[in-house]
A and B are shown apart, each in its own frame.
Chain A
Amino acid sequence: MDQPIIRIQNLQKSFGTLTVIDGLNFDVAKGEKLALIGPSGSGKTTILRILMTLEGISGGRIEICGEPLYHMQRNGAEVPADEAHLHRMRRYIGMVFQHFNLFPHKSVLQNITLAPMLTKGETRAAADKRARELLDMVGLADKAGYMPSQLSGGQKQRVAIARALALQPQIMLFDEVTSALDPELVEEVLEVMKRLAAETDMTMLLVTHEMGFAHDFADRVLFFDRGRIVEQGPPKQIFTAPAEDRTKSFLRKIIAAGQRV
């Protein structure tokens, strides 16, 4: 196997006295589509937030494309990363949030062009052109001039996906991107993500409660409980023949709640 694009080694994360992640290890191959599932509170969001540098680590090590995320070299020694290092590393990674977090004072187009113009020095013309292509891809070509408040939840989330894609990250993180949506709006967002998975070689990490989608989307499923990986494997194996009792009982509860697997 080539060098993994993400390597997580003995990751520790505590909030005060609460240890949320305790010695987590896993690698992600370039282009791999990963689904993170597990009961609420098991640390899935925290892992994505750590990768996006929204949350610091308490111990361990993460490498992105072979470079340490939270460490850097200084005078031949490895020291904690400073803001400049984190800023440089963030270029590799994009994130889509459960609650969209669009910039409400900017139009749909400006939401997408703001960061490329500010952080990559793209011209307005170039940024606009790309933004319109991305809007076309997410099926919102006619909404460029709208304000976020004029959009439905599903449309907002598709704009948020376009905004993250505009920076051309190598890794995309999706944190329960459909769970704040009305049921009838879920499908349009999943459609976009399916297309993204099929058409790009981007590495994607997806936290979801949509087991059916995780099954179709993922190359590998990681089942988390209390900050640890209980079980992992191809979707077919995890969903049809789980080995661990905790996985089985989690899936039973999900099915009882009425979801297709």
Chain B
Amino acid sequence: MEWDWDFAWSIMPTLLAGFRITLIATFLGAIVAAVLGLVFAILRRSSNRWLSRGTSFVVEFIRGTPLLVQLYFIFYVLPDLGLRLPALMAGVIGMGLHYATYAAEVYRGGIESVPRGQWEAARATNLTTRQTWLHVILPQAVPPMIPAMANYLLAMFKETPLLSAITVLELMNQAKSVANSSYRYVEPMTLVGVMFLIVSLLSVIALRWLERRYGRVSQ
């Protein structure tokens, strides 16, 4: 099999359109994961035992089942229960929910890395709970979270091809359809690999920098 530059060039617009969707799905998924993860982390800290236990159970459940199964469930099963979501939205929610459970762990680690003495000093200087979070706890808890969060962001990015299983027209899906119609796999799949590789390599460089800048939160 020969590498055909003309063919490779001709499929680039289609692949880049898919790549755009891949980036959008990653970006939106990350937002869902970050927000929902914080909700999970806060609920788990709740002094209401039912709330914290229930949250722990949900988190373990989500983590204990494959993302692909969850995506199928959201896209193909929920419509039977009356909830029909567009493919991209289903994908973003599925990925966001899945990675929220990891984000929750990172939040927990970051918050617990702040020594108890900081809470006590905040109380002894009569700060309110809100002021304590805002001015004392979060400024210390967030920086060590950043490398770990970036790590999960990269992991999520590399899992976006799973979205092709629920008809999202992301990079992998576009590459597959090009390949199926032209019977040529080497160019589309190589280009997919190269695109992922470029982003991954850039991310690893960024990650190294973040780790140097903010240190590592031990997991």
A235 vs B127: C-alpha distance when bound (angstroms)? 36
Interface residues of B toward A: which range?
10 to 19
Contact flags (1/0) for A94-112 with B, using CB distance below 8 Å?
A: 1101010111110000000
Q: Are B135 and A114 in contact (CB under 8 A)?
A: yes
B121 is an interface residue with CB less than 8 A from chain A: yes
A104-B140, A105-B140 as given contacts; A119 in contact with B117, CB under 8 Å: no
DSSP class of B's interface residues: helix, strand, loop or mixed?
Answer: helix
Which of B123, B125, B129, B135 makes the CB contact (< 8 A) with A163? B125
B118 is an interface residue with CB less than 8 A from chain A: yes
Q: Are A97 and B117 in contact (CB under 8 A)?
A: yes
A95 vs B124: C-alpha distance when bound (angstroms)? 6
A101-B117, A103-B118 as given contacts; A167 in contact with B125, CB under 8 Å: yes
With a cutoff of 8 Å between Cβ atoms, the chain B residues found around residue A105 in the complex are: 139-140
A230 is an interface residue with CB less than 8 A from chain B: no
With a cutoff of 8 Å between Cβ atoms, the chain B residues found around residue A94 in the complex are: 124-125
A241 is an interface residue with CB less than 8 A from chain B: no
With a cutoff of 8 Å between Cβ atoms, the chain B residues found around residue A118 in the complex are: 127-128, 131, 135
Q: Are B125 and A52 in contact (CB under 8 A)?
A: no
Q: Closest B-chain residue to A53, C-beta based? A: B123
B112 is an interface residue with CB less than 8 A from chain A: no
CB neighbors of B among A48-72 (8 A): 52-54
A105-B139, A105-B140, A114-B135 as given contacts; A99 in contact with B125, CB under 8 Å: no
A164 vs B125: C-alpha distance when bound (angstroms)? 7
Which of B121, B129, B131 makes the CB contact (< 8 A) with A97? B121
A85 is an interface residue with CB less than 8 A from chain B: no
Contact flags (1/0) for B103-142 with A, using CB distance below 8 Å?
A: 0000000000001011011011111110100011001100
With a cutoff of 8 Å between Cβ atoms, the chain A residues found around residue B136 in the complex are: 103
Which of B121, B126, B129 makes the CB contact (< 8 A) with A91? B126
Q: Closest A-chain residue to B139, C-beta based? A: A105
Q: Are A164 and B139 in contact (CB under 8 A)?
A: no
- What is the interface size of chain A, counting residues whose CB is below 8 A from a CB of the partner? 24
A105-B139, A118-B135 as given contacts; A87 in contact with B126, CB under 8 Å: yes
Q: Are B126 and A102 in contact (CB under 8 A)?
A: no
A97-B117, A99-B117, A101-B117 as given contacts; A115 in contact with B123, CB under 8 Å: no
With a cutoff of 8 Å between Cβ atoms, the chain B residues found around residue A95 in the complex are: 124
A99 vs B117: C-alpha distance when bound (angstroms)? 8
Q: Which of B121, B127, B128 has the most A CB atoms < 10 Å from its CB?
A: B121
Q: Closest B-chain residue to A89, C-beta based? A: B126
A40 to chain B, nearest CB (A): 19
Q: Are A52 and B121 in contact (CB under 8 A)?
A: no
Q: Are B121 and A90 in contact (CB under 8 A)?
A: no
Contact flags (1/0) for B177-215 with A, using CB distance below 8 Å?
A: 000000000000000000000000000000000000000
A218 to chain B, nearest CB (A): 22
Provide 25 A-B residue pairs closer than 8 Å at the C-beta atoms, listed in order of the A residue: A52-B120, A52-B124, A53-B123, A54-B120, A90-B124, A91-B126, A93-B124, A95-B124, A97-B117, A97-B124, A101-B117, A101-B118, A101-B120, A102-B121, A104-B140, A105-B140, A114-B125, A115-B125, A115-B127, A119-B125, A119-B126, A119-B127, A119-B131, A164-B125, A167-B125
| 9 A-B pairs with least C-beta separation | A115-B125, A101-B121, A101-B117, A95-B124, A90-B126, A119-B126, A105-B139, A118-B131, A54-B120
Supplied contacts A101-B117, A115-B127, 19 more A-B pairs, CB within 8 Å: A54-B123, A83-B129, A90-B124, A91-B126, A97-B117, A97-B121, A97-B124, A101-B118, A103-B118, A103-B136, A105-B139, A115-B125, A118-B131, A118-B135, A119-B126, A119-B127, A119-B128, A119-B131, A164-B125
Q: B residues touching A (Cβ–Cβ < 8 Å)?
A: 115, 117-118, 120-121, 123-129, 131, 135-136, 139-140
